[in-house]
Structure 1
Amino acid sequence: MNWFDAGDAQLHWREDGDPDGAPVVFSNSLGTDLRLWDFVLERLPKKGLRYIRYDTRGHGLSSSPDGPYGMGALITDTERLMDHLELKDAVFVGLSMGGMIAQGLAVKRLDLIRGVVLSNTGAKIGNADMWNERIDAVTAGGIEAVADATMERWFSKAFHETAELQMWRNMLTRQSAEGYNACMSAIAGTDMITVTSGLRLPAMGIAGSEDGSTPPDMVRELMGLIPGAGYELIRKAGHLPCVEQPDLYAQHLMRFLDSIGHGTDG
C-alpha cells in the first residue's frame, strides 16, 4: 500500500500500468474508493500509460480529518499528491465529486493537467438544502440510513437484479460516516460554473442514461461551458457507468486519450 501525507490528511494511493507512461489520474465519487476504477483499468493498455488513483480524504483507507471540508481542501490534497509523484501534463478522470475536483484542479494548476474526463458530474450538484437533509440523516442513522436511496440513484434497474449490487452497497456503508458527511458539505458549498467556463483544454464528458444523481442533461450543460468539449452518453447505466458498462467506458476513455496523443502512440 502507498501512503502520502498531504498535511492535514493522509492519502492512500495506488499505481498501475507503465511506470514510464503518460500519467492518467483517477478520482472517486462520494461513497466509493479507488476500487471504483478496477473494471475499467482491467480493460486499458498495460504499456504507454501510468495510472494513478487514490482514496479521497474521508474515504477508503485515507484518513478522515475533522470536517466539514471545503472543495478547496479536496483539490489541494490531489495537487499535493501529484506534485509528490512529480506528475505533469496528466489526463485527469473524475467521477461526480471527483469530477468537481478535476474542474478545480484544472483551474488552479493547468501545469498538472492537459486534459480532463468529467464523468457523471456537474459544475454544481444539487443544493444546500438537499445535502443538509442527507447530512442530518447520516448523522442520525449512519450511512445505512441513505444506502437504499443511494443505490437507486447509482445503478440502473437491470443492475439492481444482480448479486453485485450488494458489493457496492457494502462499499458505501463501510465508508466513514464522518468523512462522508464532511465531503457532502464540500459538494454542497461548490459552484464552479464561472471558473469552469474559463477552462480551455481538451475535455470529454461521460453520462449514464439512468443516472439519478447527475442526469445526462447536467453533464451536457457542464460540457457546454468548455469550448470544444466532447460528450458521451452510456446507455443502460446509472451514476457509475465505469461499473455497469466498463467496456464502453474504457473505449470512450481510450478514444479521448488517442485523440490528444496521450500515451504510447502520442
Structure 2
Amino acid sequence: MTENTTNSGRSTVRLDVKLTGETSDAIPVVLIGSLGSDRSMWEEQIGPLSEKWPLIAVDLRGHGASPVPDGPYSMPALAADVLATLDNLRVRRAHIVGLSLGGAIAQQIALDAPERVTSLTLVSTAAKFGEEQTWRDKAATVRSEGTKALADTVAHNWFTPTFGEAGAFAEYEAMVSSCPDEGYAACCEALAEFDSRRRLGEISAPTLVISAADDPSTPPDVVRVLADGIPGARLESVSPAAHLVNVEQAAVVNQLLADHFTAAV
C-alpha cells in the first residue's frame, strides 16, 4: 500500500484514478462515487464532459483499484485522500462532484478545504445517512459474509425496475460483489459517524444538489436538507431515476453539470 502524509499530518492513501480531457485548460472536474462502486460508474459522464473539462474519476480508498487499508475509515480521511490526489496531480482548484458516499466526501472537502472547491455538486446524497447502528451492522455483515451478501439488494436500490432489468441490475450487482469486503465495511463505518447538518451553513462553494425521484437510499426529502442548509444551493429533481441517477438519466445530469460548471467560473 502506498501512503502519503498531508500537511495536517494525516496519513493518506494514493488513489487510483482515470484522467481524461487532459488537453483542456479548463478547471478540472473530480468525480467521487458511491459506496461499493468503482470509477466506471462515471462512464456516461466521462465521454461527454471530457470534451470541455479535464476529468479525474477516482476509486475511493478500499474500492476498485485503490489500496485497501484496514478500517475503520473516517470521512475526513476519505476527503484527505482526494485532496492528496489533487496535490499529486498539481491541481489547485476543481469542480467537486460526489454521489452518495462520494457526496459526503465532497461535503467534507468543501468544509475542510473551501479554497480548493470551484463548485460543488451533491448527487443522491445526504447530510446524515440514517441511523449509526444500521451502518455498523452492515459493516459487520460484510466482514462476515462479504459484499456478495448485499450486492443484489444494493443494485436493485440503484435503478428503477425498467432501467435495471435492461441490464443494469446484473452489471452493478457484479460491481458491488467485486468491491473489497474491508473497503466496503470500513466505509460503512465512516458513514455511521458522518453528520454535516450543523455545518451546512459553512459551505461557501456554488452548490448544485441533484435528487432522484425514485431513490430509496437517499429519498428527495433527505436530499432536500442539503439544499435548504447550504447558502445559495440550487436543487434539481430528476425523474424517473433511482440512486445512480447519473447512469439512468445521464443526458439530463450531464447538462445540469455542464451548466453548473460554466456558471461557477
What TM-score does the superposition give when structure 2 sets the normalisation length? 0.93
Question: Alpha-carbon deviations, 1:29-55, whole Å to 9, x = none?
Answer: 1000111110112222513x1111110
**Displacement after TM superposition at 1:22 (Å):** 1.4
Amino acid at match of 1:36: M
Matches within 5 A, 1:1-266: 5-6=3-4, 7-19=11-23, 20-47=25-52, 49-261=53-265
Question: Alpha-carbon deviations, 1:87-133, whole Å to 9, x = none?
Answer: 12311000011111111111111121121000111111111121122
Amino acid at match of 1:9: V
CA separation in 2, counterparts of 1:160 and 1:15? 28
Question: Alpha-carbon deviations, 1:166-223, whole Å to 9, x = none?
Answer: 1111011001011100000001111111222211220000111111111111111111
CA separation in 1, counterparts of 2:139 and 2:27? 39
CA separation in 1, counterparts of 2:72 and 2:119? 30
Amino acid at match of 2:148: E
Percent identity of the aligned residues?
35
**Displacement after TM superposition at 1:241 (Å):** 0.7
* SS of alignment partner, residue 215 of structure 2: coil
CA separation in 1, counterparts of 2:174 and 2:103? 23
Deviates more, 1:188-197 or 1:90-99: 188-197
What TM-score does the superposition give when structure 1 sets the normalisation length? 0.92
The answer for the alignment partner of 1:264 in structure 2 is none
CA separation in 1, counterparts of 2:255 and 2:94? 19
CA separation in 1, counterparts of 2:168 and 2:198? 39
Deviates more, 1:21-30 or 1:155-164: 155-164
CA separation in 2, counterparts of 1:30 and 1:242? 15
Moved over 6 A (4+): none
CA separation in 2, counterparts of 1:13 and 1:160? 27
**Displacement after TM superposition at 1:138 (Å):** 1.4
**Displacement after TM superposition at 1:8 (Å):** 4.9
CA separation in 2, counterparts of 1:250 and 1:160? 20
**Displacement after TM superposition at 1:4 (Å):** 7.2
Contact 2:71 2:182 in 1 (8 A): yes
- Give the superposed CA RMSD: 1.6
CA separation in 1, counterparts of 2:183 and 2:128? 20
Amino acid at match of 1:16: T
Unpaired runs of 5+ residues, structure 1, are 262-266
CA separation in 1, counterparts of 2:50 and 2:14? 29
Amino acid at match of 1:209: A
